[in-house]
Amino acid sequence: MSKNMPVMVDLEPGTYYWCSCGKTKKEPFCDGSHKDTGKTPMEFVVTEKKKAGLCTCGRTKKAPYCDGTHARIE
């Protein structure tokens, strides 16, 4: 999988933490690898079951969701 492609996930209702540092081994979710990076995960809440594309390029304007920005990255 390309680092810039979104990860498609099935989300159940609940609270999630999206990785914003790019160091996680559980992409796109935080695994605590951000320690000492100055970055923190983004908490987001899902209220109903849904399929979503979560950003992995880190440049989306709709975090944690992919907005297609990865297609414009060289």
Q: What is the pLDDT of residue 71?
A: 84
pLDDT in 10s for each residue of the chain, 74 residues: 456 789 999 999 999 999 988 899 999 999 999 998 999 999 999 999 999 999 998 889 999 999 999 888 76
Q: What is the pLDDT of residue 1?
A: 47
**pTM of this prediction?**
0.86
Q: What is the pLDDT of residue 73?
A: 73
58: left (phi over 0), alpha (psi -120 to 50) or beta: left
Distance CA 67, CA 18 (A): 15
